[in-house]
């Protein structure tokens, strides 16, 4: 058996980030964690573009536009949907998740799902915190791994 090598090496990769401004006290931490881990893996900070949108519901469309542009090897989607704050949690969270998945499948560009869906603000803060859950860093890892894997599979 031969395992396909997908090193977590971001050298030369270009990455787009889309972040929802709603609950930006959470999204800011996710952005910081994603950016720091991308740079730690060798992605040039100048090769990371960040686009803010109103909320998680808007994230998929912006992510698709980034993916379709041909300028990015991967797109990371960040945001926070918190159940306690909205009766339409399930719609916002569900549409964000399925739209983000479709953006990746339809464009062939890895689109990573970093929109937190939690019951409470505290849960969201813990998962986003760069010193605790650091979900942003996990998304950076997934973006680089998928970019490398797809390049290997397509070569
Ligand atoms: N957007 C979020 O990103 N998180 C939320 O928790 C949220 N709540 O609670 O409603 C939220 N709503 C806004 C939504 O994403 C859109 O921006 C808005 O409906 C305009 O289309």
Report how far residue 49's alpha carbon sits from residue 142's, in angstroms, rounded to the nearest whole number: 17
pLDDT at 86: 67
Atom of ligand 1 at shortest range from CA of 79: 3
Say if pTM beats, i.e. exceeds, 0.85.
yes
Is residue 7 assigned to a domain? no
Is residue 4 assigned to a domain? no
Is residue 55 assigned to a domain? yes
pLDDT at 85: 61
Q: How far is the CA of 57 from the centre of ligand 1 (A)?
A: 6
- Considering the chain, what is the average pLDDT of its residues? 96
**Among 18, 20, 97, residue to substitute to test ligand 1 (most atoms within 8 Å of Cβ):** 20
pLDDT at 84: 80
Residues with CB under 6 A from ligand 1: 20, 22-23, 54-58, 79-82, 85-86, 92
Q: How far is the CA of 28 from the centre of ligand 1 (A)?
A: 16
Active-site positions? 88
Residue 41 tokens, joined: 């893996």
Is residue 19 assigned to a domain? yes
Q: What is the pLDDT of residues 29-88, one digit of tens each?
A: 999 999 999 999 999 999 999 999 999 999 999 999 999 999 999 999 999 999 986 678
| Closest to 23 measured CA to CA, from 155, 120, 143 | 120
Provide the number of structural domains found in the chain. 1
**Residue 120 pLDDT grade (very low, low, confident, very high; cuts 50, 70, 90):** very high
CATH of the domain at 115: 3.40.50.960
Range 64-85 burial, b when 16+ CB lie within 10 A, else e: bebbeeeebbbbbbbbbbbeee
Is residue 3 assigned to a domain? no
| Closest to 88 measured CA to CA, from 78, 96, 79 | 96
Query: Which residue would you say has higher pLDDT here, 90 or 144?
Result: 144
In which domain, by residue range, is 46 found? 15-154
pLDDT at 77: 98
């Amino acid at each position: 058996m031969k395992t396909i090598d997908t090193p977590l090496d971001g050298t030369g990769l270009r990455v787009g980030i889309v972040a929802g401004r709603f609950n930006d006290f959470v999204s800011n931490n996710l952005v910081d964690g994603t950016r720091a881990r991308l740079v730690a893996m060798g992605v040039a900070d100048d090769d990371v573009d960040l686009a803010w949108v109103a909320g998680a519901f808007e994230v998929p469309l912006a992510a698709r536009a980034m993916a379709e542009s041909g300028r990015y090897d991967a797109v990371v989607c960040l945001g926070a949907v918190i159940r306690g704050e909205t009766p339409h949690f399930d719609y916002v969270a569900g549409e964000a998740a399925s739209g983000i998945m479709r953006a990746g499948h339809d464009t062939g560009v890895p689109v990573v799902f970093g929109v937190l869906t939690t019951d409470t603000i505290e849960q969201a803060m813990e998962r986003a915190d760069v010193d605790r859950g650091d979900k942003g860093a996990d998304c950076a890892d997934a973006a680089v791994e998928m970019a490398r894997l797809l390049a290997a599979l397509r070569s």
